[in-house]
Chains A and B, each alone.
Chain A
Amino acid sequence: MEFLTESHYYRVMPFLFEGLVYTLMITIAGLLIGFVLGAIFGLARLTKNKFIYGIASIYVEVVRGTPILAQILFIYFGLPDLLEWNIDKVTASIIAIALNAGAYIAEIVRGAVYSIDKGQSEAGRSIGLNKSQTMRYIIWPQAFRRMIPPLGNQFIISLKDTSLFSVIAVSELLYMGQQYYGTTFAAFEALTMVCVLYLCITIPTSLYLRKVERRLDV
């Protein structure tokens, strides 16, 4: 027993749990904001208004066309440098996930809404619902169900993306692992446990998603 509790696999865990809390917090807060952004920009990409469509497209293309590592550095070092403000690491990380996931979620939203049969909105409009009522009561609820699997997928992607924020020394999971082996030199043990903790979140999530997907298929 002593052998076990003395091992690095065991002793690294308190650090990693602390990191996991940050990782989950950044991912969840970032995705909640990202979902709002994604819904707004995704719907904007469906309007006939060229200006609104253009703005939304620029956002989506800029985010999807640049690496998230550059995005976080831009938010944490670039913008504060230009605008002379201070931003803390966690806030910067949440913003980075929100902006990044927002662009991908915009595409998820757009695709899901677009996939709903045109007859649905025609039926809504022909009983007298206006455009926004038709979206809210008829199209969105159906589209949302189709968004669940890709949104879950985005959760897994964003969760892993937070590990890149170790470059700005935010105390997320990977960074905490690095901190541990920086002083103990137990890199193998620390990194093994880091990966195990990521997998503890990602594998159940993807199993659950597969179940949801099967249910939506029928």
Chain B
Amino acid sequence: MMITVKDLHKSFGKNEVLKGIDLEVEEQEVVCVIGPSGSGKSTFLRCMNLLEEVTSGDVYIEGDNLTDPKVNINEVRSRVGMVFQHFNLFPHMTVLENITIGPKKIKGHSKEKAEEEARPLLDRVGLQDKADVYPESLSGGQKQRVAIARSLAMNPKIMLFDEPTSALDPELVGDVLAVMKDLAQEGMTMVVVTHEMGFAKEVGDRVLFMDEGVVMEEDTPENLFDNPQNPRTQEFLSKVL
């Protein structure tokens, strides 16, 4: 199993946001998470690389229990890429520096080696000509593709996406989704929180519907979108589709 989540609970103060979530993600699987705003999707995703401290329950990444204090969380995080809704590129670094900072500082690669490895990644996200510009001069879609390349530079086994296209103008969504689709086809294990039902249908192996801190329903995209069983899922889908 690439990811195993067991009875995950997360509270912010008295507010219990995740109320017992279980999940298993196999190698090369693409799991999409959908659900209304505030249902805990981001929190769930962020628990998978411990950006949020887990209140109780266990999260295993390739067998390593993240809640075990002996596990080197920095090392685990380098195996789990994360892409944010608002990109979070480093504005004081060029595109190339954004991509190479991880390999340079964590893997100890020389500048030359890190840059040599970064070029094909830029090709892959279609931004070879943007290597030396600063993020501020990029469009949202380009920024998000740089953010994906930055994660990929660490050769992660798993990629987590938190609404990667929600902050983009509609005409820029396609390029980012195309990059993600390529990744999925190359066999990347992915968990994607998304409002793009089309993407979930086409690329997802499995779709989770979350509401009020629990997974209400979980199924293949065909079944979940065309024949939802849970009334909450039905209600949600009728609003968004």
Contact = CB atoms under 8 A, between A and B. Distances in A.
Q: Please say whether chains A and B are actual partners in one complex.
A: yes
A128 B101 CA distance: 10
Contacts of A124: 90
A137 interface: yes
Contacts of A120: 88, 90
A128 B104 CA distance: 11
A117 B88 contact: yes
Interface string A14-25: 000000000000
A122 B105 contact: no
A125 B84 CA distance: 13
A138 interface: yes
Nearest to A136: B105
Nearest to B150: A127
Contacts of B80: 126
Contacts of A125: 51, 74, 77
A129 B92 contact: no
A138 B101 CA distance: 10
Given A126-B51, A127-B102, A129-B106, A119 B75 contact: no
B82 interface: yes
Nearest to B106: A128
A122 B77 contact: no
A129 B105 contact: yes
B105 A142 contact: no
Given A126-B82, A145-B92, A137 B105 contact: yes
Nearest to B153: A127
User: For chain A, which range describes its interface: under 10, 10 to 19, 20 to 34, or 35 or more residues?
Assistant: 10 to 19
Interface residues of B, number: 25
Max count, chain A CB within 10 A of own CB: residue among B88, B101, B102: B88
Interface of A is mostly: helix
Interface in B86-137: 86, 88-92, 101-102, 105-106
Interface in B135-193: 147, 150-151, 153-154
Contact of A127 (B86, B91, B92, B106): B106
Interface string B212-234: 00000000000000000000000
Nearest to A138: B90
Max count, chain A CB within 10 A of own CB: residue among B49, B78, B105: B105
Interface in B59-94: 74-75, 77-78, 80-82, 84, 86, 88-92
B77 A127 contact: yes
Nearest to A127: B102
B90 A123 contact: yes
B86 A119 contact: yes
Nearest to A120: B88
B39 to A, nearest CB: 20
A133 interface: yes
Contacts of B81: 126-127
The 6 A-B residue pairs whose C-beta atoms are closest, nearest first, are: A128-B78, A123-B88, A119-B88, A126-B82, A127-B102, A128-B77
9 contacts: A117-B88, A122-B51, A126-B77, A128-B78, A128-B102, A128-B154, A129-B101, A138-B90, A141-B92
Given A127-B81, A127-B101, A142-B90, 11 more contacts: A122-B84, A123-B84, A123-B89, A128-B75, A128-B77, A128-B102, A130-B74, A137-B101, A137-B105, A138-B101, A142-B91
Interface of A: 117, 119-120, 122-130, 133, 137-138, 141-142, 145
